[in-house]
Amino acid sequence: MTDRTPFDAIQGDGLPIAPSLEPSLQNARVPRVTTVIDGRTAFIGILAAGLGVMAGYLAEALIRLIGLVTNLAYYHRISTEFTSPAGHHLGWTAVFIPALGGILVGLMARYGSKAIRGHGIPEAMEQVLLNESRIPARVTLLKPLSAAIAIGTGGPFGAEGPIIATGGALGSLLGQLLPTTALERKTLLAAGAAAGMAATFGSPVSAVLLAVELLLFELRPRSIIPVALASVAATGVRFSLVGIQPVFPNALLTTPNGLSLAIYIALGAVIGVASVYVTRAVYWIEDGFEHLPIHWMWWPALGGLVVGGIGYFVPRTLGVGYDNIQAVLSMHLVGVALLVLCLAKFLSWSVALGSGTSGGTLAPLFTIGGALGALLGGLIATLLPKVGVDPKICALVGMASIFAGASRAMLASAVFAFEITLQPLGLLPLLGGCSAAYLFSALMMRNSIMTEKLTRRGVRVPEEYAADFLDQILVKDAASRHVVTLDATQSLGETRRWLEAGADGATHHGFPVVDKGGAVIGVLTRRDLLESTHSPESPLRALLHRELAVAFEGNSIREAANHMVREGVGRLPVLGEDSKLVGILTRSDLLEAHAARLRSAESAKRTFKSGWGPRDPEALRDP
């Protein structure tokens, strides 16, 4: 519905308005009726599907570029085959290769774009929240190039983080080149990011969930449909290039029973606690780099020296490490070897990420969490053989739970671990373990590994996505029914004397003006009446200087609030089915609707008598 509609065509709450009203009422400006989707959704969906195809080929290109850098740096050959640097035979000289990669990344960050530093998702979140989803075009080129150099020279990161960031930058660029709104650019950015993840792992559902939990900050059809189309398109490209087999195939898992399921959930809680300390360690190391007396451009080189040194003793820590994840999930690594990989990968990754180089978090966290879960699972299976705990499920739960605890992307983590293994028996333990990890992480740590950096910059990141409360209440339930009206033929002088006398209703700030038939034709405020330059004999009709804006009983107060903002007014006359004035909706009424919700929540909290409840009365107040 448009802003300006002939009044006889307006549908208030389902009934047409009579055409025989005051001419100013026929031209009344009415709220836009909220629609779930529209033609623009289809347009953005088509763009997102094309974006998904591009992201699919972009992911393959970046993986090949990483392979090229790896082969040049560690094997001195020209090949785009994706390979691990762990099999090199360079000896101690390989220690300096990650440092050289760090120098190149530092130069690109300083003279190209500082946005290429880090794992990309916090930076994308910042652009969504503060810059209307506008990512500079140069990041679309520099991010994958810097990531290929960092990872190809031994950086302990997965390829998925840079691909996600690059896909998001590509979506943002597309949104900037075409005439789109900020919300549509956000959708395209999220679609590109989701497509990048789906193209890397063949995980379209978890990619959509990740976009919802970390980038969209909403769950609406007009945004989730394009994101889903992009993820499907990107996965289709992946299937056409590398096949439909899961990324990490695994042997069949043991069917969980009641006791083993409880252990898997407890394991998720333990891993969730570990994710808190992993996150704190990363930012503690990052803070340490901040105090170094050298320019930040050189930090990735220092981090690279640490990566190279650890890689000299534990070569498995170098590079993306997807083979490590496969080895952990299939229990090909056990005991001391598993413990060494877990500790060495954590140290190498945290120092590298803290130094500000270009890399990701997903694969390293999966390696660390999977190894920790496999260690604990093997220990439990040895001590309690009759319980029926499967160490492979423990590895899977540990892998997903550490990411759920660190990133707070609970659903994405659980579904992702299922999609990359296609093991249905693991889905229930995954959901329980990720839920427990999320719970304990949120209890112990206010921010996640994704939002801590933004919070330090003074950015407030939404943590909960709920249905709009204002959209659930109708105007008829919130409007004031006691309306003080003014007669259009009444003189200005008479009205001023009435206001000065302080009669009943004269203290209001706004008054609907009605004609002799009782139809509202405008609204005048106290300021209009007291500061008008019209003569005292002028009828109030002469003071009406703007078109009438009204609301209907069937509108939601969200629609009415949006209408107030568009029209620049603080109150709206409310019309009933017969087009007659039945009330008035003011900004105070909107606040009162919120106040009723808060009072209800506060009352519910006060009935919670458990010792887990807050003791301080001030803690009972919603922020």
**Same domain as 484, residue 427:** no
Is the dihedral angle over the CA atoms 386, 387, 390, 391 positive or is it negative?
negative
Q: Are residues 235 and 283 in the same domain?
A: no
Domain end: 456, 487, 519, which one?
Answer: 456
Q: What is the DSSP string of 573-620?
A: EEE-TTS-EEEEEEHHHHHHHHHHHHHHHHHHHHT--STTS--SGGGG
The burial of 486, by beta-carbon neighbours within 10 Å (0-12 exposed, 13-18 middle, 19 or more buried), is given as buried
Q: Where are the alpha helices (DSSP H) in 212-257?
A: 221-242
Per the CB < 8 A criterion, the answer to whether 392 and 250 are in contact is: yes
Looking at the structure, do residues 263 and 291 belong to the same domain, yes or no?
yes
- Domain coverage including residue 568: 470-593
Give the DSSP letter of residue 570.
S
C-alpha span between 594 and 97 (Å, rounded): 59
Tokens of 241: 């290039």
> Which residues, including other chains, have CB under 8 Å from residue 560's CB and lie 6 or more apart?
31, 475, 551, 572, 585, 590
pLDDT at 14: 38
How is residue 257 written in tokens?
């029973």
Residue 513 sits at φ, ψ, to 5 deg, of -105, 130
359 and 381 together in one domain: yes
Tokens of residue 372, six digits:
């920790």
Of the candidates 192, 215, 242, which is a domain's last residue? 242
Please list, in sequence order, all residues whose beta carbon lies within 8 angstroms of the beta carbon of residue 229, skipping any fewer than 6 positions away: 45, 48, 49, 52, 191
User: What's the CA gap between 569 and 364, in Å, rounded?
Assistant: 53
Separation CA 329–CA 321 (nearest Å)? 13
Residue in the block written with tokens 């209907």: 552
The partner residues of 474 in beta bridges, in order of sequence, read 556
Residue 422 · residue 205 · CB < 8 Å: no
Residue 549 lies in a domain: yes
End-to-end CA distance of the chain: 35
Residue that terminates a domain, selected from 399, 434, 456: 456
- 610 falls within a domain: no
If asked whether residues 444 and 538 sit together in one domain, one would say no
Whether 351 and 402 share a structural domain: yes
475: three-class secondary structure by DSSP = helix
CATH code, 56: 1.10.3080.10
User: Are 479 and 441 within one domain?
Assistant: no
Whether 523 contacts 513, CB under 8 Å = yes
Q: How far is the CA of 373 from the CAs of 193, 253, 308, 364, 370, in angstroms?
A: 28, 15, 26, 14, 5
Answer whether residue 398 is part of any domain: yes
Are 130 and 277 within one domain? no
In three-state form (DSSP H/G/I as H, E/B as E, the rest C), the secondary structure along 67-84 is: HHHHHHHHHCCCCCCCCC
Maximum distance among all Cα pairs of the chain, rounded to whole angstroms: 100
Nearest Cα to 482, choosing from 454, 515, 507, 460? 507
Does a structural domain hold residue 616?
A: no
Which residues have C-beta within 8 Å of that of residue 408, sequence separation ≥ 6? 213, 438, 441, 442, 448, 450, 451, 463
Taking 70 as the pLDDT cut, the residues of the chain under it are 1-27, 34, 119-120, 505, 600-623
| Nearest-angstrom CA–CA distance, 7 and 28 | 7
pLDDT of residue 607: 57
Pairing of strands 581-586, 510-514: unpaired
Q: What gap in Å lies between CA 317 and CA 339, rounded to an integer?
A: 12
Amino acid at site 31? P
In-domain check, residue 589: yes
Q: Which of 365, 360, 353 is nearest to 328 (CA)?
A: 365
The verdict on 67 and 147 lying in the same domain is yes
In a domain, 621, yes or no: no
Whole-angstrom distance, CA of residue 359 vs CA of residue 102: 11
Residue 218, pLDDT score: 82
Yes or no: say if 464 and 213 are a contact pair by the CB < 8 Å rule: no
Are 308 and 276 contained in the same domain?
yes
Domains: count for the chain: 3
CA distance 11 to 316: 67
Give yes or no: residues 409 and 354 share one domain. Answer: yes
**Residue bearing tokens 């836009």:** 32
Classify residue 487 by burial, with Cβ atoms within 10 Å: 0-12, 13-18, 19+. Answer: middle
- Integer angstrom CA distances of residue 230 from 38, 193, 548: 18, 9, 44
> Domain for residue 249, yes or no?
no
pLDDT score, position 119: 65
- Residue-by-residue DSSP string for 330-393: TT-S-HHHHHHHHHHHHHHHHHHHHTT-B--SHHHHHHHHHHHHHHHHHHHHHH-TTS---HHH
Same-domain pairing of 51 and 174: yes
Length of the chain measured in residues: 623
In a domain, residue 31? The reply is no
Centroid of chain to Cα 622? 22
